[in-house]
Structure 1
Amino acid sequence: MDIRPIFKYYWPHLKKYKKSTFLVFASYSLAVVGSGMVAPILYKRIMDIVSGAEKSAVISTALINTVLFLGGALLLYNLFYRIADYAMTHSQSHMLKNVADDAFARVERHSYEFFSNTFTGTLVAKVRRYINAFETIQDQFVFTVWMNGLRLLFGLAVLSYFSLPLGIVLFIWLVLYVGITALFVKKKIEKDLLTAAANSRTTGVLSDAITNMLNIKMFASHKRELSYFTDATELEEKRRRDAGYFQNTQFLFQGYFIALFEFVGMFAAAHLWLNGLISAGTIILMQIYIFTSFEVVWNIGRNSAKVMRALAEAKEMVDIFEKPVAVKDPKNPEKCKISKGEIEIENISFLYGEEEGKGTAVFKRLSLHIASGEKVGLVGPSGAGKTTITKLLLRFADVQDGKILIDGQDISRITQNDLRSRIAYVPQDPILFHRTLRENISYARTGASKEEIIDAAKRSRAHEFIKGFLKGYDTYVGERGIRLSGGE
């Protein structure tokens, strides 16, 4: 899996908070120096003092001073941890908002046909997972890669300074462990991609069923839909179980490899101590770094699975970002001149489908003139293209040949927003936002006054039933307007 496209979309949000990000890495680095380097050395020093001489005033002073230094180190590195935590919270909360806003803007650019051919629930799930993946990847890079990497580096440096043979043992083990983990990770990515795709499918099927629950009840098709849903969950369960078993196998190898290192490391330390090559404090230092290394590499192993899953989930959304937008605004749009509404459709050809020649032909060299103020009804069988003409007028799709003019201006030469702001359109499906009646009525004119909203309701004969609601125009209509009757 090529992760470069993922970071192409994530990186701009990271760059906006360079100062906070620098503070995060700097503070965590200083904290790790204190907890992973200074404190263990002081513990070694304390052990060497305690085990190396009889009690005396000089020894007591050295011991007390070392303990005091240790206390100061504990206070300082905890302070740096907290500074980094606050900086991380500040920057990440803003980044997540920006990632979410950017994802919405990029998805919204796609054409009407894209949304018609995509499960709503699947798309929503992909957007949410893309946002969550950013947080997971950032957290894992900071806490797992950066901080744990520093712990291993400092541990290796300190241990090698006091005992080069023990440092070499630790280094060889780390190289072998990373190599084994890398082999597992490559295969794990493939399995996580399959799991993410199966999860998206299940979410889409569930969303589709809930959206059409009235039809399910109306046609008593509970068993059929349940079977359809269980097919999706069965595939998801199989993918998840397969990925989980593979991960457990990875942990099996890693666990025994860690146990082997603990035995070899402590055996080497004991041998060196018996030969007078290291002090008792160095054995303590070795033990500290053995357990630190265990914790670090085990966390890396477990969290690598989270990162791989997050990358797989982010890639689903990035694939949508990378998908060409079917209907685009011109690079240098003309100023919109639409005012009267004279429509001229000149020799247009149109077919549905992503690739011309492989779709369903609707129009072939169609021409039509509608004068300003003229009332026209389009009559024809289902699929004849009546609704398609309105979609082409609104540029929900573009013609493959010919052109459409309104008041003499080619609609492909102005922005989609300018075009649609000049057209009043009542769709076949009365879909409403889960907002108040007031907000839905004034959606096309957000600055409309209370009087204008009421006047519009009266003209559409909605004012009478709206008055009957307890909260009147401030009544929430429910998702897709479900709280209203069909007529309302």
Structure 2
Amino acid sequence: MFRRPETLIEPFAPFPEGEMPPTTVGRFAWHYLRPIRFWLLVLLGLSLTVGMLESGLYLLIGWFVNILATSSPDRILAEHGMALAAVAVLVLAVRPVLHTAHEYVSNQIVVPQSTTMIRWRTHLYTLGHSLSYFQGDFAGRLANRITQTGPAIREIAVTILDTLVYVAVFALAALGLFSSISLWLALPMLAWIAAYLALLRYFVPRAQERSLANADARSVMVGRVVDSYTNILTVKLFARGEEERSSVREALARWMAAFLDLMRLITGVTGVLSVMNSALLAATAGLSLLLWSRGQMTSGDAAAGLALVMRILAMSGWVMQTVRGIFENIGVVQESMATIARPHGLVDRPDARPLVVRAGEIRFENVSFNYGREAGILEDLNLTIRPGEKVGLVGPSGAGKTTITSLLLRLHDVESGRILIDGQDIAAVTQDSLRRQIGVVTQDTSLLHRSIRENIAYGRPGASEAEIEEAARLAHADAFIRDLEDHKGRRGYDAQVGERGVKLSGGQRQRIAIARVILKNAPILILDEATSALDSEVEAAIQDALTSLMEGKTVLAIAHRLSTIAALDRLVVLQAGRVVEEGSHAELLARGGLYARLWRRQSGGFLGEVDQVAAE
């Protein structure tokens, strides 16, 4: 009864993931609601039907009062039995069926699935943004906006199609009844509707503005809290707990001020609405009494009219809050839209093809890049890395080493020139296929808040348990993994590592990252300070694993500890974004240039080696 209809909307149905959402609220909402437009029309039809039925029941109250007033007890069934039976069927059978059908479509088909669908699609589009997009915002704030967009868009649609349509039917039914009796009786209702619309016109834009400010203040507060939690180790190491509490308190105070500003508006409007409602009730009752006394209105009509007015008055405050809720949700959508509906910074070309790596040659041809600054980070870089060659990038901080690896991974697009892998321009291949062919171990290792097994298998989904454990052994991680136990008692490869891997030491995180790359076994390998978090003993063991890993691969390595890359085939020395020296470790030392000066600045333990190399 429930499960089959719940599958009528498929939240995860395929769709064009790279299509940018529109940048106006209505079109942005419709962009995500369009796949369920049929069920929204069904919901609208049911809302109209239920509204007409409910307002009709109030008219039936007037009819019922009239037949009680005009019929004798012994004749009422004979004269009105069939009509009363039909009303009984309407109340006992038709009404429950319609209400259940309305709730069924709303609760089982539209609401959960549409919320999930919108969250899924906004998440996928956001995931397609470039690295710089995520570096420029709080992760918590981005997650909050993705999470709140689904319910906000859904509530706007369902409230307009459901609640407001339902109320409009009641107002039209009351106007129809009063007009059929006397235009004078319809005047209070017309005046009330006009005043109500004027009040909405005053209320809505102000509520929208204040709701947007409230939503923005809430997001800032959530971002501050998440930022504190994410960097809790830094907070404690620098004893900055008081400053973090003060920062969150300040954000909470701003949110409360924005919320109070919105509540003041609501309280004032509610007071005005209460006066309007009382005036409508008094005017309708007084005119009904006058018309009844002149014989122009039956007691049943008066009863039905007053019942309708009471129902409308009861709904008026609810409608005002509902309209406020609509515009509060519009504020949420506007806030989310400003974050989500941006063009992707890095996109695949329409004719992009998968990268095919046959040998692994890498060529940088006249590559320039400056992160949008005036001074270039890289200027006309020309560099060729032969298939299977192990190349180390050396140079002072800011020389462009990490920028080269970022451009090779296409985390940024070059501003001029091109990068080729086996003769294929990486700008003309799909980003996913490019990154699948490159294994990366970075200095700042970040693990997912999942099990050790899932983190290692991230390098090759579908890998067997034996392959995962073998990769861990090669990375000298298997021993410590088997001793791990998390707070829920999960042990070994099932243990969770915490957010960004905070439950592990830096060296342990690095070994898990190396195991992940070993398992990936990509033909091109980037090592960016790959052993920086390891002690000397573990580093020596890991170097053996890395030596095996590098066999048959094209390798690009960065290390500030020059001893870790001295044995590579070739070292490329960079300064201010240009190649200033190339050669082997021994050749560069003998040349006595920038590399030799950098080498001599290393710790004293290496100086003897310098003298030995010079003597050779």
TM-score by length of 1: 0.93
Structure 1 equivalent of residue 206 of structure 2 = 187
| Code of the aligned partner of 1:48 | N
**AA paired with 1:220?**
A
Report the CA distance between 1:220 and its aligned residue: 0.9
Is the CA contact (8 Å cut-off) linking 2:114 and 2:150 kept in structure 1? no
Give the AA of the match of 2:85.
L
> Per chain length, whose mean CA-contact separation is higher, i.e. which structure has more relative contact order (CA < 8 Å, sep 6+)?
1
Q: In the alignment, residue 312 of structure 2 is paired with which amino acid?
A: S
Aligned residues: 480
Q: CA deviation at 1:419?
A: 0.7
SS at structure 2 position matched to 1:160: helix
Percent identity over the alignment? 28
Match of 2:441, SS state, is coil
Shift of 1:357: 5.0
Query: Which residue of structure 2 aligns with residue 71 of structure 1?
Result: 88
Conserved in 2, the CA contact under 8 Å of 1:24 and 1:85?
A: no
1:294 corresponds to: 313
Mapped to 1, the partners of 2:349 and 2:297 lie a distance apart of: 75
Counterpart in the other structure of 1:486: 506
Which residue in the other structure is 1:87 paired with?
105
Contact map agreement 2:119 2:150 (CA 8 A) in 1: yes
1:57 maps to: 74
Aligned counterpart in structure 1 of residue 359 of structure 2, from 312, 319, 340: 340
Match of 2:438, SS state, is coil
Match of 2:197 among 151, 158, 178: 178
Q: Which amino acid aligns with 1:281?
A: G
Match of 1:387 in 2: 402
Asked if the contact 1:347/1:366 (under 8 Å) is kept, the reply is: yes
Letter aligned with residue 504 of structure 2 = L
When you count helix as a share of all residues, which structure comes out higher? 1
Deviations 1:79-110 (A, max 9, x none): 10101111122132222221111011110110
8 Å contact from structure 2 (residues 40, 161) kept in 1: no
Q: How far apart are the structure 1 equivalents of 2:59 and 2:390?
A: 88
Deviations 1:259-316 (A, max 9, x none): 2211212111111112221011111111111112112322221111111111111122
Partner of 1:374: 389
Structure 1 residue 63: Cα displacement: 5.8
Q: 1:461 maps to what in 2?
A: 476
SS at 1:405's partner residue?
strand
Deviates more, 1:315-324 or 1:62-71: 62-71
* Letter of the 1:328 counterpart: V
Q: Distance in 2 between matches of 1:66 and 1:295?
A: 30
Amino acid at match of 1:485: S
Inter-CA distance 384–135: structure 2 relative to 1 (3 Å threshold): same
CA contact (8 A) 1:25 1:84 kept: no
More moved, 112-121 vs 298-307:
298-307
Q: Identify if the C-alpha distance between structure 1 residues 159 and 77 changes in structure 2 by more than 3 Å, giving closer, same or farther.
A: farther
2:340 is paired with a residue whose SS is helix
CA contact (8 A) 2:164 2:319 kept: yes
Q: Aligned partners of 1:306 and 1:238: how far apart in 2?
A: 19
8 Å CA contact 1:42, 1:66 repeated in 2: no
Q: CA deviation at 1:322?
A: 2.5
| 1:250-269 correspondence runs (5 A) | 250-269=269-288
Distance 1:42 1:85, change over 3 A: same
The alpha carbon displacement at 1:13 in A equals: 4.4
Paired with 1:42 and 1:415, the residues of 2 have a C-alpha distance of 67
1:441–1:389 Cα change, 3 Å: same
- Say if 2:43 and 2:162, in contact at 8 Å, map to a contact too: no
Secondary structure of 2:366's counterpart equals strand
Tell me how far 1:115 sits from its aligned partner.
0.4
The aligned residue for residue 576 of structure 2 is none
The answer for the alignment partner of 1:327 in structure 2 is 346
2:425 aligned with 1:407: no
SS in structure 1 of the partner of residue 163 of structure 2: helix
Tell me which residue corresponds to 1:41. Answer: 59
Q: Distance in 2 between matches of 1:56 and 1:311?
A: 56
Shift of 1:361: 4.0
- Cα deviation digits, residues 21-43 of structure 1 (max 9, x gap): 33322233222222111x11221
On the 8 A contact 1:130/1:313 being kept in 2, the answer is yes
Q: For residue 463 of structure 2, what is the aligned residue in structure 1? A: 448
2:493 maps to what in 1? Answer: 473
- Once the two structures are superposed, residues 40-72 of structure 1 have per-residue CA deviations (whole angstroms, 9 ceiling, x without a partner) of 12211121122345x353335446555434322
Could you say if the C-alpha distance between residues 155 and 62 of structure 1 is closer, same or farther in structure 2, counting changes exceeding 3 Å? farther
2:140 corresponds to: 121
Q: Which moved more, 1:11-20 or 1:401-410?
A: 11-20
Which TM-score applies when normalising by structure 2?
0.74
**Which residues in structure 2 correspond to 1:154-303 (within 5 Å)?**
154-303=173-322
Structure 2 CA distance for aligned equivalents of residues 457 and 241 of structure 1: 55
Supply the AA of the counterpart residue of 2:341.
E
Larger radius of gyration: 2
SS state of the match for residue 480, structure 1? Answer: coil
The amino acid across from 1:49 in the alignment is I
What SS does the corresponding residue of 1:227 show, helix, strand or coil?
helix
What is the aligned counterpart of 1:429 among 444, 451, 464? 444
Name the SS of the counterpart of 2:387 in structure 1: coil
Q: What is the rounded CA distance, in whole Å, between the counterparts of 2:244 and 2:73 in structure 1?
A: 83
The runs of 5 or more residues in structure 2 that have no matched partner are 1-21, 486-490, 509-616
Asked if 2 retains the 8 angstrom alpha-carbon contact of 1:345 and 1:404, the reply is yes
Q: 1:154 to 1:105 in 2, by over 3 A?
A: same
Aligned equivalents of 1:199 and 1:14: distance in 2?
A: 26
From 1, 22, 35, the counterpart of 2:41: 22
Cα pair 2:367 2:381 within 8 Å, conserved: yes
CA distance in 2, matches of 1:140, 1:4: 22
- Distance of 2:282 and 2:501 partners within structure 1: 67
Amino acid at match of 2:492: G
Aligned pair in 2 of structure 1 residues 383, 146: CA closer, same or farther (>3 Å)?
farther
In the alignment, residue 469 of structure 1 is paired with which amino acid?
A: L
Name the SS for the 1:484 alignment partner.
coil
Deviating more after overlay: 196-205 vs 139-148: 139-148
